[in-house]
Amino acid sequence: WYHKLKVMVIQSILLASLEFATIYFAVKLYNAGTITLGVIVLIQIYALTIFGSVWNLGRGIQKLSSHLSDMKEMVDIITLEPTVKDPIKPETVKIKKGQITFENVSFKYEKESILDDFNLEIKAGEKIGLVGISGSGKSTLTKLLLRFYDPTSGKIKIDDQDISKIKREHLRNEITYVPQEQLLFHRTLKENIAYSKKATDNEVIAASKKANAHEFISKLPKGYDTLVGERGIKLSGGERQRVAIARAILKEAPILIMDEATSSLDTLSEKYIQESTEKLMKNKTAIIIAHRLSTVQRLDRIIVLKKGKIVEQGTHKQLIEKKGEYYKLYQHQNL
């Protein structure tokens, strides 16, 4: 931005100087009797036309420079070598049930220790909630499971298969990830929902009904053919979340990771999201990163994290009775 402004100022000064010089020499020639007043006017008209073209040329060069800079950044990103690489001889995916095991997992990010000798077993079909203050390690666990990062030491297994021996693409095909900030494209609702896999119109509608999205979509003038705008700007937060859940339902992967976003929603939207989440979790191993504790109260198990370690685990009732870390968080949210 600063560079653009500097170029514009220099360009303006140069053009103003040239215009002043043109007028100055034209008047000088007129006073010398070399040219007439009509010629001065004609020179001024030509000068303004040329200066306008030069100004537009300058703006064009500016835009071209900006686009080339953006293009270079895009090429740099595309050609960037991933820090997490696929194995040279990947194993065939054997994920069926969705049992997840973290075995002595440690992870450091820029020399800072996030997890240290972490152990956790999640049974196939179990629904667990990850709870803890910001920086407790909740998101790190899910990023390791999706292989956005690899552990510094230790192993992560799904159905007794080490995920580091599986191609990342194949691993992620077996996991449905619903992030807190929904990624919707400037396409139709139907295309956004069917992004996870090819689906018929009836399959898209069925998934939308389970996600409590069909009702609001049906009320739109173009229904499922409605364009949602960049990043789903034309939809409310609750509507975007339900579209994302419909997409996740359609994928039908054995493992679900959901970073719930109900903390910023109104009560009615939260109710819709919780109902659709319960349908989404059916017959899946589910990991819910909870920001509002009301979303995890009915889960099979709640894991309370603090500084990368499990400090408590159990059902909502058990943890409330224990009056430990979970109880403190619960009391804080209900003040």
Q: What is the DSSP letter of 227?
A: B
CATH architecture of 100-333: 3-Layer(aba) Sandwich (3.40)
Q: What does the domain layout of the chain look like in residue ranges?
A: 2-78, 100-333
pLDDT digit string (tens) for 153-193?
Answer: 999 999 999 999 999 999 998 998 888 777 888 888 898 88
Euclidean distance between CA atoms 128 and 44, whole angstroms: 77
pLDDT for the residue 261: 60
State pLDDT tens for residues 236-287.
877 888 888 888 888 888 999 988 665 556 666 667 777 777 878 888 899 9
Select from 100, 145, 91, 142 the least CA-distant residue to 120.
100
Q: In the prediction, which pLDDT does 313 show? A: 92
pLDDT, tens digit, 9 for 90 and up, residues 25-80:
878 887 887 878 787 778 778 777 877 777 777 777 777 777 887 888 888 877 77
Q: What pLDDT, on a 0 to 100 scale, did the predictor assign at position 302?
A: 93
Query: What's phi and psi for 26, nearest 5 deg?
Result: -65, -45
Which residue type occupies 197? K
* H or E segment and range at residue 193: helix 189-193
The mean pLDDT of 206-223, rounded to a whole number, is: 87
What is the distance between the terminal CA atoms of the chain, rounded to a whole angstrom? 45
How far is it, in rounded angstroms, from Cα 309 to Cα 118? 7
